[in-house]
Amino acid sequence: MIGAHSDDDFNRAPRLFCTLGGSWPVIPETYAFTNPEALPLYSNLPATRPPAVGEIWVVATAAAAQQHGARLRRWAAALGVGLRLWWLEGMSDLHSESDVRAMADLIYRLAYHAGRDRPPPVLGLAGGRKTMSADLQRAGQVFGHSALVHVLDRIDEKQRAILSQYQGRPDAFTGPLPEELAGSLLPVLVAAGAPPSEAVTAERYHLDEAAGPLPPAGAVSPDTCFLDAVESIQHQAESLLANYRLQLSAEEPAGNFRALYALPAATVETLRRERIGTDPVRRDQEIAWLDTLPKAELHCHLGGILSVPEMIEAAQAEAVRVDRARRWRDDLEADFASLRRWIDHGDLTAIVNWLGRDAHGRPDFKALRRRWPCLPEPLGVCAFLLAFADAPEALDAIIFGDWCDPVRFHAIGIERYEALGDLQGSGLLQSRATLRATLDILARQARERHITYLELRCSPLNYTRGGLSGDAVIDELLAAAEAMAGHTDLRLLFIASRHGDRQRIEEHIALAQGRLERDKSFARRFVGFDLAGAEHARAPAELRGDFRPLRERVVHLTIHAGEDTSVQNIWEAAYELNADRIGHGLTLAENADLLARFRDREIALEMCPSSNDQIVGFCDHLLGRGKHPYPLAHYLAEGLRVTINTDDPGMSRTHLSAEYHKAAALTEGGLSHWQVLRLIRNGFQAAFCSREDRRHHLLRAEEKIVRQLTNGGKPA
């Protein structure tokens, strides 16, 4: 037995490879981190630990080996763990560049041998000269490692004296630390495992020849032959990789995260080759991967974010007021009782007949706002939603009907699409309680889907029928932004609706201008203005004068255009309103010159695959239905700055990760992982925040993505 491991475990376990300098305890301190069962040195260990090791390899200068070698061997024998120690013959310390290179050669040679007959070694970086630790870490990057570990000390002067006495004891570091030293040492997992570099894998034969046999433990003659061979292979590989990156950049219509080009060529080729959205069986797995990636959301309407269960959850915020109203409004109580009876009996037709139907033959949810005169909003809508508290699936069926059946699916147009949100938005968000509850749900959605930057668009004055003012709505939005700051940077856009009262457009512009002039916190969070609604109701050119105050203040503009109308609306949005981004832009390909101008001026498109499909109807290759091709693949090939967004996730029964997958399903052959990452980068690049904030979010996203890819977190 070796510690707590069997002989088989010992022979299969990675080795612990450490450098040694003036302090021998760094070896047992590191071993206690990897093998806490064999050496319970620490009272508290980090939750994430390196793998358990077998044999210990140590490299040192001759002086350190002479000073500490005998003590280390006695310690290892007491624990029953194998230990081998090497040092450079005749080199008491590192005094010159040639000494440093000779030591690097020995470290590289031993690191190479340590992983030849078992998993790559765990590397302990706590001991030896800084150059030795640095060379050990570089050797791990070249030849691979199972973990990089370090031990930090937090010892004060009193504890240092105690430690000095403790180190001299025969049983030192063979059991728990003395109580006086508990917590004074901090083991740290610097990095999880990493595979050997591609250059090493490709040149394994030549490296075997250059490394020669493993030298016996003890004094080793100084040499640099192996180090020279490794550096030569690395130089050749770097030249080939540089040429590959240049070729890759030349082939691409638009760039990706810069750090991705520094990844090994095999990793890049895997990202370019592997695709999502081509196999229904893999959908959940692929969406789970998409969930892990940091993302930006640029086109999300507050009035459409809630699923049916979430609408009921938001309505619960007014449950007390609803119960009070039911007690003094007999008509409300009678209607609520009828709803409950029909729900219990599954009589959805009776519920729809009670609601009445709108001009399109759909349930008229807007009638709820007028059904109980003098009842403060949004209590009527809340009462209706709360009737379905234990039957959300029934309400889901009433709202969406057969639209959710992929076999019977058909495009429903913009008016019927917008009607899907009549139970939320301005119907529900008429009180501080429901607004706060909805913003809490938004925060949860963003956190679950790893949305690190979110531009939320809304019309604050549309939420004032229940007694709130426009400024009060803004205050709630700003408070939500501050609450989300730990995981999501929330920014605000206001919406002007084409199909609404033109005076309301002017009022929203005035509301934004007033807050910008007097409120610094609003000025930081407010990033733009949007023109939305049915495009046929009012052309962008008609609103040029209305939007002039925003252009004079240099406010970013995003315009819904080309969603279900011709490219003319996109042209007007760009040339009449000077749009910085376009919402949807599905018909841009009808004008090749305009498309080229969008590419050259980097005007971004906010595509929303599910709502685009609901409203217009496109070919879904994963479901095998539809004929009209989605323009995403063409836009990517042309180098346009395309972004993926949700629009109204509750109304489309989706979320941002699912939208990336839907984009792949609407694209023939799916999307490669490389294209997905490019789309994610586009989202951050097209953000309306300041240049400094945009750069910050880009770099953070890039760092997380590259770390995931290099630490074994592969795409689905």
Under a CB-based contact definition with an 8 Å cutoff, are residues 300 and 455 in contact? yes
- Model pLDDT for residues 269-294, shown as the tens digit of each residue: 899 999 999 999 999 999 999 999 99
The Cα diameter of the chain in Å comes to 100
Taking each helix axis from N to C end, the angle separating 308-315 and 392-400, rounded to the nearest 10 degrees, works out to 120
Show the tokens assigned to 186: 């901090």
Q: How far is CA 456 from CA 364, 529, 611, in A?
A: 27, 11, 17
The answer to whether 249 touches 264, Cβ cutoff 8 Å, is no
* CA torsion, ordered 188, 193, 196, 197, to nearest 10 deg: -80
CATH 3.40.50.10770 fits 7-224, yes or no: yes
Residues 6+ apart with CB under 8 A from 582: 558, 559, 560, 561, 562, 570, 573, 574, 588, 598, 603, 604, 605, 606
Residue 628: what pLDDT?
Answer: 93
* Residues carrying an active site annotation: 563
Q: Which of 141, 135, 45, 50 is nearest to 88 (CA)?
A: 135
Check residue 242 and give its pLDDT. Answer: 63
Q: Domain 252-305+441-716 carries which CATH code?
A: 3.20.20.140
Cα–Cα distance between 496 and 309 in angstroms, integer? 29
Q: pLDDT (tens digit, 9 = 90+) per residue, 454-513?
A: 999 999 999 999 999 999 999 999 999 999 999 999 999 999 998 777 899 999 999 999
Which range among 8-17, 174-183, 242-251 has the greatest average pLDDT? Answer: 174-183
Contact assessment for residue 360 and residue 372, using Cβ atoms and an 8 Å cutoff: no
pLDDT score for 240: 59
CATH 3.20.20.140 in the chain, residue ranges: 252-305+441-716
Sheet strand arrangement including 451-458 = 295-301, 451-458, 489-497, 526-532, 557-561, 581-584, 604-607, 642-644
Residue 3: predicted pLDDT: 41
Q: Where is pLDDT greater, at 453 or 48?
A: 453
pTM exceeding 0.85: no
Q: What is the pLDDT of residue 241?
A: 59
Alpha carbon distances (Å) from 165 to 23, 171, 216, 224, 601 = 14, 12, 34, 40, 71
Residue intervals of the chain classified under CATH 3.40.50.10770 are 7-224
Other beta carbons less than 10 A from residue 357's beta carbon: 12
Each residue of 675-706: pLDDT tens digit?
999 999 999 999 999 999 999 999 999 999 99
Q: Enumerate the β-bridge partners of residue 57.
A: 17, 84
User: Could you read off the pLDDT of 621-663 as tens digits, one per residue?
Assistant: 999 998 899 999 999 999 999 999 999 999 999 999 999 999 9
In this structure, what token pair is assigned to residue 429?
């968000």
**What ranges make up the beta strands (E) of 275-380?**
275-276, 295-301
